[in-house]
DNA sequence: CTAAAAAGAGAGCACTGCTCTTGCTTTGGA
DNA sequence: TCCAAAGCAAGAGCAGTGCTCTCTTTTTAG
């Protein structure tokens, strides 16, 4: 009986795959997705570039792996920040998640750009990324749900032409919540990334200087907008 | 006396420069910024790639020219949409500008990605782009200013720790407006691009289906958020 | 023990941005 | 009017890229 369940080869494959991703992530963090080079990764790992194709069939596949990891890293950061204030009020929890997203983005700008910036060259995200991408959204939904089951939500009514879509979204995302809240939640979710992206991509340069209080206030208003109080 | 003021050479230079930009814009619209190739542009124009460097010293310089054009194109679209409803109420004018931004983005996805997506490979936008980039922002400020001088604005107060930054932004952007409105305006400006970007970059896939009413409602709420009524 | 599968190495293709040198043409001053 | 200077096009070439193909070696599994 062997101590390496699937054999040494399978074990090595896992390690090499991880090493490739690590080195790729290093280059991504250092230079951005566009300058991520398979040949450079292979060179740094002491292997020849063609050998790398045994692990990732193309550059896009490597990027996809990095994208999923980035979504999960962001999701974990947001979840950790939320859990740290799980006892606090719903607005405070909402703010904590938003600030965690911003902090993660500022700490991993190229990875953030990879997942929330413009998609890389002709690249379209495969279905595989969906579960990881949803983590932050699910967190926000959970906060709003807690508030709904606790102190309740205060939402303004929706226009008539939005009722069908609002009901559809609600059925898909959170059937137990009022459509007004779900609609506001989805919009706030997108708006959060507008705030983060503008800061990260330099649109706030020479416009907003002291960004923490600005961001905090903005996401607090988002929280009120979804009905939290 | 010559009919070509600066000589035929200067005239030709202008035409060739325009032809290069046109062809580059075509490739940008077709394939995205990352696949924009100087060699392909030159090839399509029947010139050799090295000749192109007489007009643009590098690929980044070409991209910068396209970025400025894109900002101006977006700005013009927004201004035209605004002027078409200049007599309507402030909220309606605000919505018109936002919807013009969205429509332009959906019609020019790669150009939108170029200016509001993640900045291209290690590329940092030069100062030259600033005036063009400000056009939509100035339009939104103008609407809020009109409202302020007309029916007035209704804003909620700011937290104390935001006062310094809010006053600074107000002095920079619109000294005649209340800091509460300016702060909300800047945040809404960023949030608008969050809504547009999420739709454009596929984050709304399988989440929001009927996007026009959703977007319209969201930006109407933004309008109320900056104090318009 | 052996056939099959997996992995690495290397050469090569087509492409990229960019530089440099070589000629030709237009320009502007003496 | 002539002539040097500047502007421009063309071609070759460099270093780099993603990716494919073939060949050899190593490991696995029957």
State which residues form the domain around A9: 1-57
Q: Do B190 and A192 touch (CB under 8 A)?
A: no
The torsion of the CA quartet A187, B82, B80, B99, rounded to 10 degrees, works out to 20
Q: Determine the pLDDT at residue A201.
A: 92
Whether residue B93 is found in the same domain as residue B119: yes
Q: Which of B197, B202, B225 sits opposite A197 (nearest CB)?
A: B197
The DSSP output letter for A119 is P
Q: How many CB atoms lie within 10 A of CB B3?
A: 6
Query: What is the average pLDDT value for chain B, to the nearest integer?
Result: 93
- Whether residues B211 and B101 share a domain: the answer is yes
* pLDDT reading at B119 higher than 90: no
Spell out which residues of chain B touch residue A158, defining contact as CB-CB under 8 Å: 217
**CATH number of A221's domain:** 1.10.357.10
Residues A105 and A189 in one domain: yes
Question: With an 8 Å Cβ cutoff, are B172 and A114 in contact?
Answer: no
Q: What is the largest CA-CA distance in chain B?
A: 68
Tokens 């606090």, residue located: A88
pLDDT value at residue A130: 87
Assess contact for B121 and A110: CB atoms under 8 A: no
Q: Are residues B122 and B154 in the same domain?
A: yes
In this predicted structure, what is the pLDDT of residue A125?
A: 61
CATH of the domain at A32: 1.10.10
B51 shares its domain with B65 = no
H and E: helices and strands count for chain B: 11, 0
Taking the C-alpha atoms of residue A85 and residue A94, their distance in angstroms, rounded to an integer, is: 10
CA angle A190, A193, A194 (to 5 degrees): 90
- The reported pLDDT for the residue numbered B118 is 83
Residue A127 structure tokens: 């279905």
| pLDDT at residue B4 in the model | 39
N-terminal to C-terminal alpha carbon distance within chain B: 61
Tens digit of pLDDT per residue, chain A (229 long)? 333 346 788 899 999 999 999 999 999 999 999 999 999 999 999 999 999 999 999 999 999 999 999 999 999 999 999 999 999 999 999 999 999 999 999 999 999 999 999 874 344 566 788 889 999 999 999 999 999 999 999 999 999 999 999 999 999 999 999 999 999 999 999 999 999 999 999 999 999 999 999 999 999 999 999 999 9
d(CA A19, CA A36): 15
Contact B38, B49 (CB under 8 A): yes
> What are the chain A neighbours of B131 within 8 Å (beta carbons)?
none
Q: Report DSSP letters for B126-195, one per residue.
A: -GGGHHHHTHHHHHHHHHHHHHHHTT----PPPPGGGHHHHHHHHHHH-TTS-HHHHHHHHHHHHHHHHH
- Both A45 and A145 in a single domain? no
Domain-terminating residue out of A11, A35, A57: A57
* Residues in contact with B28: Cβ distance below 8 Å, sequence separation at least 6, in sequence order: B36, B66, B110, B111, B114
Q: What is the pLDDT of residue A3?
A: 36
Contact A34, B34 (CB under 8 A): yes
Instruction: Tell me how crowded residue A52 is: count the other CB atoms within 10 A of its CB.
Output: 21
Mutation site for B-interface testing, chosen from A101, A160, A194 by largest number of B Cβ within 10 Å: A194
Whether pLDDT at B107 is above 90: yes
Same domain? A69 vs A97: yes
Asked if B115 and B141 count as a contact pair (C-beta separation under 8 A), the reply is no
Top-ranked range on mean pLDDT: pick from A126-135, B12-21, B119-128: B12-21
Query: Do residues B193 and B176 make contact, with C-beta atoms less than 8 angstroms apart?
Result: no
Residues A7 and A115 in one domain: no
User: Considering chain B, what percentage of its residues have pLDDT values greater than 70?
Assistant: 94
pLDDT recorded at residue A129: 87
Do B103 and B119 belong to one domain? yes
Task: Mark yes or no for CB contact A158/B217 under 8 Å.
Answer: yes
Question: In 10 A of CB A99, how many CB atoms?
Answer: 16
- Count the domains in chain B: 2
Looking at B57, B76, B93, which one is the last position of a domain?
B57
Whole-angstrom Cα distance, residue A48 to residue A147? 55
pLDDT at B120 over 90: no
For residue A60, count CB atoms less than 10 angstroms from its CB and return exposed for 0-12, middle for 13-18, buried for 19 or more. middle
Size of interface A-B (CB pairs under 8 A): 162
Say whether both B104 and B215 belong to one domain. yes
Indicate the residue among B17, B35, B57 that finishes a domain: B57
Q: Do A168 and B225 touch (CB under 8 A)?
A: no
The pLDDT of residue A78: 98
Which bases of chain D come closer than 7 Å to a protein CB?
7-13, 16-22, 27-29
On chain B, the residues whose CB falls within 8 A of the CB of A194 are 190-195, 197
In this prediction, residue B121 carries a pLDDT of 38
**B182 contacts B166 by C-beta, under 8 angstroms:** yes
A112 and A39 inside one domain: no
What is the structure's pLDDT at A67? 95
C-alpha radius of gyration, chain B, whole number: 21
Task: Write the residue in A31, A117, A192 that is nearest to B122 by C-beta.
Answer: A31
pLDDT in tens, A66-118: 999 999 999 999 999 999 999 999 999 999 999 999 999 999 999 999 999 98
Structure tokens at A2: 């062997």
What was the pLDDT predicted at B127? 74
What pLDDT shows up at residue B124? Answer: 54
Cα–Cα distance for residue pair B89/A70, rounded to 1 Å = 44
Residues B51, B130, single domain; the answer is no
């Amino acid at each position: 009986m062997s101590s390496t369940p699937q054999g040494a080869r399978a074990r090595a494959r896992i390690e090499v795959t991880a090493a490739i991703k690590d080195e790729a992530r290093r280059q991504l963090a250092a230079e951005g997705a566009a300058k991520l080079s398979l040949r450079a990764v292979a060179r740094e790992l002491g292997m020849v570039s063609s050998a790398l194709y045994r692990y990732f069939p193309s550059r896009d596949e490597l990027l996809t792996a990095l994208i999923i990891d980035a979504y999960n890293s962001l999701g974990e950061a947001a979840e950790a920040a939320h859990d740290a204030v799980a006892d606090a009020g719903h607005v405070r929890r909402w703010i904590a998640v938003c600030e965690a997203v911003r902090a993660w983005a500022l700490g991993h700008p190229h990875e953030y750009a990879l997942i929330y910036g413009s998609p890389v060259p002709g690249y379209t995200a495969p279905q595989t990324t969906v579960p990881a991408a949803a983590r932050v959204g699910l967190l926000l939904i959970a906060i709003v749900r807690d508030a709904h089951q606790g102190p309740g939500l205060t939402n303004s009514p929706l226009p008539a032409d939005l009722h069908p879509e609002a009901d559809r979204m609600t059925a898909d995302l959170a059937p137990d919540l009022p459509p007004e809240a779900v609609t506001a939640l989805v919009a706030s979710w997108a708006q959060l990334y507008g705030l983060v992206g503008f800061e990260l991509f330099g649109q706030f340069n020479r416009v907003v200087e002291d960004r923490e209080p600005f961001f905090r206030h903005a996401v607090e208003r988002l929280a009120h907008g979804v009905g939290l109080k």
